[in-house]
Amino acid sequence: MQYLLDFSVYLEQERNLSSQTVKAYTSDIKDFLNFLENKGKKIEHINYSLIREYIGSLMEKGKKYTTLARKISSLRSFLRFLSSREILVDFPTSALRSPRLKRKIPSFLDEEEMATLLDQIEGEGFCFSRDKAAFELLYATGMRIAELVSLNVDSIDFNEEIVRVKGKRGKERLVPMGKYAQLALKEYLEYRKGKIAPGERALFLNKFGERISDRYMRERLNKYLKKVGINKHITPHTLRHSFATHLLNRGADLRSVQELLGHERLSTTQIYTHITPSHLKKVYDKSHPRS
């Protein structure tokens, strides 16, 4: 399917999307192209009637709203791509709207749970020091797990106490890191010297001295969660949620947290403005005259 290959290149090179997003979008469009083929239709035949029929077929299959929204987003990008190549003419993609989704409050660990988790990553040797540094840095900066594993050694600036993070669409941001993360990183870098493969620039390495994968780091996180008895469904992204929640609960302004997280829109950051019961109680005790 040449259109699919061209679309994949367009997403990667022109839209500068992450490999995971490109993979998801191309998978969605492959499904749509199969739908067209089963209907005996070609790309040039695409119209609103076909689009509605396709979306209707997804709804009949009982697709979740989140899945449906993603597939419509993928389809909108594909139609824009076809329009930009003048394969489709006068097709207003802006009229193709995703279903309105309810925003869920992100899951997070409270400050005590977070401290318990990080304090229990202890032991001797390369693996323990790497995991300690990785998870301390993840929580200290609020970066995504994909951003963490893509860090290189020169991404860290100990003099300025910052990390140079390459985020979505290749956008770079500078994020401060705290003393706990710095100490853990310095210890890990000593172990890293004896593990690094020739020419490897990655900050976090696997046992072969090569760049570590985000999948492996998820497995390592699960190991420590079991160790401390935290039974919630926790992923590396939960540490990002916790980072944002804790900053806002301690008085950080929304705009600054937006910059630290690398969000393009302030509305994306606003999902973290939920107030925990303990924080609400502190505010009440401090502010109410008869608390």
Report the catalytic residues. Answer: 144, 168, 237, 240, 263, 272
Whose CA is closest to 66, among 27, 98, 111? 98
CB atoms within 10 A of CB 30: 14
Q: In what order do the strands lie in the sheet with 172-176?
A: 156-157, 162-166, 172-176
Please, are residues 121 and 131 in contact by the beta-carbon 8 Å criterion? yes
What's the one-letter identity of residue 84? S
Do 4 and 30 meet the contact criterion of CB atoms below 8 Å apart? yes
DSSP state of 10: I
- The per-residue b/e assignment along 198-234, b for 16 or more CB within 10 angstroms, e otherwise, is eebebbbbbeeeebbeeeebeebbeebbeeeebeeeb
The tokens for 285 are 């005790």
